[in-house]
Amino acid sequence: MEEFEHQMQFVFALRSRGVTNAAVLNAMEKLQRRDFVEGIFQDRSFEDTPLPISCGQTISQPTVVGLMTQALELNNRCKVLEIGTGSGYQAAILSRLARRVYTVERHRRLARQSRERLTTLHLHNITVVHGDGSLGLPEQAPFDRIIVTAAAEDPPRVLLDQLRTGGIMILPVGQSQAVQTLVKIVKTETGLDYTDLGSVRFVPLVEGVAHDVLD
């Protein structure tokens, strides 16, 4: 019963904060956020808040995940690039709505953990790459969609160059300590169209791979 109530609370939060797309809601209902966090945080996985994961990082707030996914306007022909794999939760949702997902993470430990989770969940259309996502993934470019789940001070030019014409990129823009703005960029024949989707708070996009003591 408690589980059912938690699920109701989870979906209610998504809907009440503007996640209305049926396919996105369906993908988020089918995946358990609990499977992407560890220890004591599993009992809080239904709450609409970010939660700590390994390497001092966070799994994003579910409503923000929903709004970003919805803004990507995915279909089953899309090849998607995510920067900032973290727990793998966002990548798992993308994988249910797109044809192919590539996700890049700078912490080796997070890349390994999320790769294991996604394999266990039989989500086989995702490739987790350990590397510096601020460089994108040139060998797989161009992408139909790009989602950055860490905040950059400006939309990285390198990533925009790897976006197909007609493609959409979603990312938080702003300084790490300040309030950031979620921005949607559509690449057209003639330039870039920007839409402000509201305020968010993300960990910063950091250049280079991490050199953790334990990974």
Question: 18 pairs with which residues across the strands?
Answer: none
Could you tell me which stretch among 14-22, 58-66, 155-163, 179-187 binds ligand SAH (CB under 6 A)?
58-66
CA gap 215, 213 in Å, rounded: 6
119, amino acid identity: T
60 flagged as catalytic: yes
167 sits near ligand SAH (criterion: CB under 6 A): no
Residue 36, class by beta-carbon neighbours within 10 Å (0-12 exposed, 13-18 middle, 19+ buried)? buried
Site size toward ligand SAH (CB under 6 A) is 24
Binding residues among 128-147 for ligand SAH as defined by CB under 6 A: 132-134
Could you tell me which stretch among 13-21, 67-75, 185-193, 204-212 binds ligand SAH (CB under 6 A)?
204-212
Question: CB 53 → ligand SAH: shortest distance, Å?
Answer: 6
Question: CB 18 → ligand SAH: shortest distance, Å?
Answer: 19
**Buried-state track 66-92, b at ≥16 Cβ within 10 A, e below 16:** bbbbbbbebeeebbbbbbbbbbbbbbb
Single out the catalytic residue among 16, 45, 54, 60: 60
Could you tell me which stretch among 5-13, 72-80, 160-168, 202-210 binds ligand SAH (CB under 6 A)?
202-210
CB 82 within 8 A of CB 147: yes
43, amino acid identity: D
Question: CB 1 → ligand SAH: shortest distance, Å?
Answer: 28
Closest CA to 38 of 57, 20, 25, 22: 57
63, 70, 87, 180: which one contacts ligand SAH (CB under 6 A)?
Answer: 87
- Report the 10 Å Cβ neighbour count for 99: 14
Which parts of this chain interact with ligand SAH (CB under 6 A)? 57-60, 83-84, 86-87, 89-90, 104-107, 110, 132-134, 149-150, 203, 205-207
